[in-house]
Structure 1
Amino acid sequence: MRNLPLALSLALLPSPVAAKTILFVGNSFTFGANSPVRVLNADRVTDLNGEAIGGVPGLFSRFAQESGLDWQVSLETSPGKTLGWHLAQRGGTIGRAWDHVVLQQYSTLDPDRPGDAATTIAEADRIAALFRRFNPRVALTMTATWTRPDLVFLAGRRWSGTPVAAMAGDLRRATDRAAARARADVAPVGQAFTCAINSGAADANPYDGIDYSRMPLWSYDQYHASSYGYYLEALVVFARVTGIDPRTLGAAEGAAGDLGFSQAETAALQEAAHAAIATDGACGR
């Protein structure tokens, strides 16, 4: 190009590829309640509510950067809220063109009728329509979340006395129905929890004492996730959205080190995430 005019030489250079944009919409299961994950990597994401949250989106951003991907990551979260609430109360904030959106519903689907999928199906359809209004080609992913021990191992609850896989399985089936209506993919996060349990890497019942050789996936309230659980959630979402095998991040992955995980623990979580994606959740049944 040395004999060409400078302006023409610059015009012939390849244009830089724009970063992909991704928005996470959810509640405490997305922002990482009861865990240092909540603030970790907050400098790597844009919190549309200005609350300096990192959460699962911050972990996603870290994984993307470590994998050589260019993603601009944003989040809009509020504790204990449904997708319908985000649409009604934050529609003006989240309603813009995104390349990808990750949606996380309330932990029991319907706060008033635990396990009932009807509201989730309707709300997913409506919020998907909002995003497609701004970008008809937006990719959507819905997270199917985890079994809550407080609803399984305590008496008088919706899933009391059922196997640890049952609640996650019910949530997955409901999310599949909602995703079919919304034309979205599903990230089998809850089933990845059960995959980790079935592999022997994680403890199944926090109420009977944590096996010292196994990771606790839940926080002290046996409702929200622990740092291990949120890390596993982020791995599954990252793998589903990008198509990258989470095991490629390696046992020395940086965010896991920041959270104090051993390399063996990190590798086991990455293996559980891979298994959940590779089997479409079958390892968690």
Structure 2
Amino acid sequence: MYRTLSRLGAAMPLLLASMTASATGGLCFYADYNYQGAEWCPTTLEGYVTGAVVDKISAVRVPDGSKVTLYQHPDFTGKVLEVTADTPNLSNVAFNNLASSFRVDGATAAPAPTTSGTCFYENYQYQGASFCTDAATGDIVSGPVVDKISSVRIPAGSRVMLYQHPGRGGLALEITADAPNLTDLQFNNLTSSFDVLPLVTPPTPTPTPARKVLFVGNSFTHGEFEPAYHFNAANVTDLNGSGMGGVPGIFKQMTVDAGLSYDVSIEAVSGQTLAYHYQNRLPLIGSKAWDVVVLQEYSTLNPSAPLNPASFLKYSALLEGYVHAVGPHPNPAASVYVLENWARADQLYAAGGVWKGKTLEQAVALLHDNYQMALDTNAGLAGMLPVGDGFVAAVSQGVADRNPYDGIDEGKVDPWNVDGYHASAFSSTMEAFIAFGRITGRDPRSLGSNDAAAAGMGLTPAQATAAEFLAWQVLAQNPVKSL
């Protein structure tokens, strides 16, 4: 049952109250004489006195045709008083503030209405004088229940509006089920007019379909080490059947943390390029109409020709076209992103490295320029996930150490893993925060320092906050394109 009180159309929400009929058919105890003060109406035929009237019962209402035995002590012992009618003052029978347990004899079920319409009763639990009507609307200005309606039975499949004044004026109460005690609903002895209306069943909301996201890449996507490699794998579809979770699994958990619905899949093969995926995995990539696709290229763009963007530009464009138009389940509205890799520490600091002699900033700038070239030359790409920029920001802002080969500074994280190649747990989580912000459009900082995904990856609240901030910062510096 739902209810609201209103005056002149202004709604006043009330708390929901129980509508369960009392087994006693109307027994109520009161803290003060003449049925005033705190009230307690038990729902059993015997028991201990509880609630707001413990040790202070001064009046009692008795169901018609019943006998109520009051006992001084909670175990039905001590002084005893039998009452067979309403008793407004227990002091008059030397039992004020003494009742601690009770039994009811002769209680009968509340009478069923004599009409299929609406019935109004003078007392609680459908007792006392009554007025029943089949009318769909009306005023109650005469008869035995005028200004003293305490319970109402309503027709099945209906809702009834009760009004304080004739002509539907004053306070209003809507009831959608029988109401055995209008005091519970703050409407006792107030009803002067009514409407009987059809019960409106709210339509079942149509669930919003989960957005389908596919991550295509290699170990920079699936994570080479635990906890990233198998993170949340049970809730991610690995199209290759390898049981990977990786960054897609972390991203999936973040969407759950944010209360969002995303169906996340991964198609990742270690050490491979986008050319490999196009040439060997198209049936998997084309198995669904994706809403979002993230394309992650080899760490140095081309393993046989490092930093040569030709293959990356070609196959990112072919895959984008396949998702949008060519594949068996095209979605022209899909958002296709490229994921900007980070510069590997082993290629920065080891002899013969691709970026040997360059700073981290210079190395990532070279990568960034090539990803930006893909965006500039392919109108179908929506933007990038600037993960490499996140590495630079983490180092420049003192969150991460610049060179793991000379030791990790106290208080900083290693952005790379033990091999100086793949992402650490911190950087994999930052990568997922970047994916979360880019794909969902939400501020990653909204997930908070106690985000479950970050905690599951072993980050402290301070590290989670730092990773969220870095993700937000680099995303703001690299907005999506206007397609």
Fold conserved between structures, TM > 0.5: yes
Asked if residue 136 in structure 1 is aligned to residue 327 in structure 2, the reply is no
Within 5 Å, which residues of 2 pair with 1:10-25? Answer: 13-25=204-216
Runs of 5+ unmatched residues, structure 2: 1-156, 159-196
Give the structure with higher Rg (CA).
2
- Give 2:358's aligned residue: 162
Pick from 201, 215, 228 the counterpart of residue 426 of structure 2.
228
Structure with greater proportional strand content: 2
Q: Deviation at 1:183?
A: 2.3
Contact (CA 8 Å) 1:141, 1:241: kept in 2 or not? no
Asked if residue 97 in structure 1 is aligned to residue 293 in structure 2, the reply is no
State the TM-score, normalizing by the size of structure 1.
0.92
1:83 maps to a residue whose letter is L
Query: Secondary structure, in 3 states, of the residue corresponding to 2:228?
Result: helix
Q: Deviation at 1:205?
A: 0.5
Contact (CA 8 Å) 1:147, 1:166: kept in 2 or not? no
Asked if residue 268 in structure 1 is aligned to residue 466 in structure 2, the reply is yes
- Give 2:368's aligned residue: 172
Q: Deviation at 1:179?
A: 2.8
1:227-274 CA-partner distances (Å, limit 9, x unpaired): 111111111111111111111111111122222221111111111111
**RMSD over equivalenced CA pairs, Å:** 2.0
CA distance in 2, matches of 1:99, 1:83: 19
Q: Deviation at 1:157?
A: 1.9
- Give 1:87's aligned residue: 278
Contact (CA 8 Å) 1:192, 1:273: kept in 2 or not? yes
- Give 2:22's aligned residue: none
Asked if residue 77 in structure 1 is aligned to residue 268 in structure 2, the reply is yes
1:146 maps to a residue whose letter is W
Percent identity (aligned): 38
Within 5 Å, which residues of 2 pair with 1:190-209? Answer: 190-209=388-407
Contact (CA 8 Å) 1:124, 1:179: kept in 2 or not? no
Asked if residue 38 in structure 1 is aligned to residue 234 in structure 2, the reply is no
Q: Deviation at 1:168?
A: 1.5
CA distance in 2, matches of 1:14, 1:253: 29
Contact (CA 8 Å) 2:429, 2:457: kept in 1 or not? no
Pick from 96, 103, 116 the counterpart of residue 308 of structure 2.
116
Q: Deviation at 1:184?
A: 2.8
Asked if residue 53 in structure 1 is aligned to residue 249 in structure 2, the reply is no
Query: Secondary structure, in 3 states, of the residue corresponding to 2:209?
Result: coil
- Give 2:383's aligned residue: 185
Contact (CA 8 Å) 1:22, 1:73: kept in 2 or not? yes
1:55 maps to a residue whose letter is G
CA distance in 2, matches of 1:88, 1:277: 31
Q: Deviation at 1:40?
A: 1.2
Find runs of 4+ consecutive structure 1 residues off by over 3 angstroms: 2-6
- Give 1:68's aligned residue: 259
Contact (CA 8 Å) 1:84, 1:127: kept in 2 or not? no
Contact (CA 8 Å) 2:347, 2:355: kept in 1 or not? yes
- Give 1:237's aligned residue: 435
Q: Deviation at 1:13?
A: 4.0
Runs of 5+ unmatched residues, structure 1: none
State the TM-score, normalizing by the size of structure 2.
0.55
State the number of aligned residues.
278
1:158 maps to a residue whose letter is V
Query: Secondary structure, in 3 states, of the residue corresponding to 2:267?
Result: strand
Contact (CA 8 Å) 2:400, 2:412: kept in 1 or not? yes
Query: Secondary structure, in 3 states, of the residue corresponding to 1:22?
Result: strand
1:171-192 CA-partner distances (Å, limit 9, x unpaired): 1111111233142311110001
Q: Deviation at 1:9?
A: 6.6
Contact (CA 8 Å) 2:343, 2:360: kept in 1 or not? yes
- Give 2:88's aligned residue: none
Pick from 338, 347, 354 the counterpart of residue 151 of structure 1.
347
Pick from 395, 408, 413 the counterpart of residue 215 of structure 1.
413
CA distance in 2, matches of 1:265, 1:99: 31
Query: Secondary structure, in 3 states, of the residue corresponding to 1:37?
Result: coil
Contact (CA 8 Å) 1:24, 1:101: kept in 2 or not? yes
Contact (CA 8 Å) 1:60, 1:234: kept in 2 or not? yes
CA distance in 2, matches of 1:183, 1:257: 33
| 141-150 vs 162-171, which moves further | 162-171
Q: Deviation at 1:26?
A: 0.5
1:121 maps to a residue whose letter is L
Query: Secondary structure, in 3 states, of the residue corresponding to 1:252?
Result: coil
Contact (CA 8 Å) 2:213, 2:262: kept in 1 or not? yes
1:228 maps to a residue whose letter is F
1:61-83 CA-partner distances (Å, limit 9, x unpaired): 01111111100001101001111
CA distance in 2, matches of 1:113, 1:187: 23
1:11-55 CA-partner distances (Å, limit 9, x unpaired): x54422111100000000000102311101111111111111110
Query: Secondary structure, in 3 states, of the residue corresponding to 2:409?
Result: coil
- Give 2:140's aligned residue: none
